[in-house]
A and B are shown apart, each in its own frame.
Chain A
């Protein structure tokens, strides 16, 4: 039978299929962090079960960490307790931890790829829905709940039903100023937030083939925002080049041998998908969201749809927008460039290239939070820090930060924030905060103009 890329990886990881039930799926790599792991460790302890394959687990601290003074003890008591518990659990179970201050520390979905932990053909899980990010490497990667974290601890396996298969094709040439973030926001705006439920999504077409690994990660990252368990892109030379030479990537002969195998990881010519959609790259423009779910997206220069259901009305009321309103020139006081969607070096290069020689507008608080220590170091090395600081942007230490506002990086109630993160839910960036999702370029341009602005004319 003809197989999709997804089938090939999934099928090779089945330990056993339960008749009329789920598969026992083997997990190659388990990533954990401080927020969704403590209860799983407790669960194991209560049942007196050891962690089965601790060498296949890697931990980081990212969700609930401060982005200032990381060398000092964490001020928030509950956060400190959570971090202490993670350290303790990792020590007790022989799990590698890249804690706060470690040179490899970072947001779990930034850290693992940049260290070469993420490789094609693997199964990767983490107690975080944006685990789909790793799909950029041609990997089956998806988020799990804490009970499942405990299952993987106990058995290195998960009981899961095989999802259906969906393919999204985008072909053509992207317009100037249109970034991977715009591509995925566009797709979600067209398909809605639950069109992907029950599916795993493969992204195909020359737009993705021509995209960098970091761009592919941005796209796969948001697969969950259309409801899909995960998204993936067939590995190719771009992938192999990215992986080669990274800290934990296989070396020499091993690498070559693997590469031969990785090259087989693509969807067969006539393989059938349960659902398929196609879009033209030429139709995509810089995107923003206007509502309280990531599917409520429009072109930056567009207007809010007039026709909407009752959930639209509720969202618009929360956001303080009206149907039919054009958001261009809307004053904005906060911008955030960060999160596992857009906190890699390319994102900051793009932002810096635009910002260079300009200044942020008086009214704007501009927060820049790198995805990892390594990205932070690159920002230093490439001289981007100076560009940001001269322009009046605040550069912080790595972490999830204002993406979910568990730490002090919160947007005040009622304020708009043009954010490169992935969720614009009510209160996501702080109680009462109003999030407008966008690309790093849109965020940078907003900071400079002090309002949403059509910067595409300035690009050449």
Chain B
């Protein structure tokens, strides 16, 4: 997994609430059996109309906005557990998603793929939207080490939370599989002990 420490970049404002994973990557694009290539179909039905023509009203199609930070409305990533949503965002080029709320599974999936979900207060989210919409060149700084997100022009900042274990993983670029495989002895011991409890009969 790619390491993440700090990032200073412009952002794309997606001022929509309850963005579900069916919007992030519609089901008809889930047929691929590898992870590459999902970026093309990110927000497919918002980016393109039904004739596959670019929808100029959608923020990802507006030239003034670019960058590796996506700032989105409340409750981002709800719905299906498809990790394809995190892959699509990552493949498109996003490294950070900011929202005032993330759905659990999406959050976990993002962290497992080196895409940092930054949860901020609704007030700070509003400030972010205002700053970016005022000046699309506005740089947002995300500092994982110090768990801080800041708006460069105004200097306003907020602290965000992240599980300490996940933080270490992101900073060092290692993931849960590496960790769990290092624990196989403990897992086998657990299995052996469990055999003597009624809970394991027939399991």
Contact = CB atoms under 8 A, between A and B. Distances in A.
B134 interface: no
A81 B18 CA distance: 33
B190 A26 contact: yes
Interface string A376-417: 000000000000000000000000000011100000010000
Contact of A157 (B112, B187, B202): B187
B112 A147 contact: yes
Nearest to B36: A39
Interface string A180-200: 000000000000011001100
Contact of B177 (A82, A151, A260): A151
B79 A311 contact: no
A252 to B, nearest CB: 11
Contacts of A35: 30-31, 82
B103 A197 contact: yes
Q: Is the interface of A mostly helix, strand, loop or mixed?
A: loop
Contact of B165 (A12, A21, A314): A21
Interface stretch (B20-28, B64-72, B125-133, B149-157): B20-28
Given A21-B163, A310-B17, A197 B104 contact: yes
B20 A425 contact: yes
Nearest to B197: A12
B108 A145 contact: yes
Interface stretch (B3-11, B53-61, B137-145, B178-186): B178-186
A255 interface: yes
A144 to B, nearest CB: 6
Listed residue (A12, A21, A42, A423) with the most chain B CB atoms within 10 angstroms of its CB:
A21
A79 B31 contact: yes
B81 A193 contact: no
Interface in A10-67: 12, 15-16, 18, 20-22, 24, 26, 28-29, 35-36, 38-39, 42-43, 47, 49, 52, 63-64
Contacts of A439: none
B33 A38 contact: yes
Given A157-B180, A314-B16, A404-B27, A423 B199 contact: no
A398 to B, nearest CB: 18
A362 B194 CA distance: 59
A22 B175 contact: no
A302 to B, nearest CB: 21
Contacts of B163: 21-22, 161
Contacts of B30: 35, 63-64, 406
Contacts of B16: 311, 314
Interface in B151-175: 163-165, 175
A145 B164 contact: no
B84 to A, nearest CB: 8
Listed residue (B81, B175, B181) with the most chain A CB atoms within 10 angstroms of its CB:
B81
Interface string A67-90: 000000000101101100100000
Interface stretch (A106-114, A121-129, A330-338, A450-458): A121-129
Contacts of B82: 35-36, 145
B176 A147 contact: yes
A298 B108 CA distance: 32
Interface string A131-152: 0000000000001111110110
A438 B126 CA distance: 36
Contacts of A404: 22, 27, 80
A227 B22 CA distance: 15
A144 B82 CA distance: 8
B104 A198 contact: yes
Listed residue (B78, B84, B198) with the most chain A CB atoms within 10 angstroms of its CB:
B78
A22 B83 contact: no
A293 interface: yes
Contact of B50 (A28, A43, A144, A431): A431
Contacts of A314: 16
A272 interface: no
Contact of A145 (B18, B34, B86, B183): B86
A24 B183 contact: yes
Those 9 A-B pairs whose CB atoms lie nearest each other, nearest first:
A250-B202, A21-B165, A147-B112, A145-B109, A38-B33, A78-B31, A145-B83, A155-B180, A261-B198
Given A26-B187, A127-B81, A154-B177, 18 more contacts: A18-B165, A39-B33, A42-B33, A63-B30, A64-B31, A119-B203, A144-B81, A148-B108, A151-B176, A151-B180, A154-B180, A157-B183, A193-B75, A194-B103, A258-B198, A404-B22, A406-B28, A431-B26
21 contacts: A39-B33, A39-B83, A64-B31, A129-B79, A155-B180, A155-B181, A159-B179, A163-B104, A193-B18, A194-B75, A197-B103, A255-B202, A257-B198, A311-B16, A311-B18, A311-B73, A405-B27, A406-B30, A427-B22, A427-B23, A431-B50
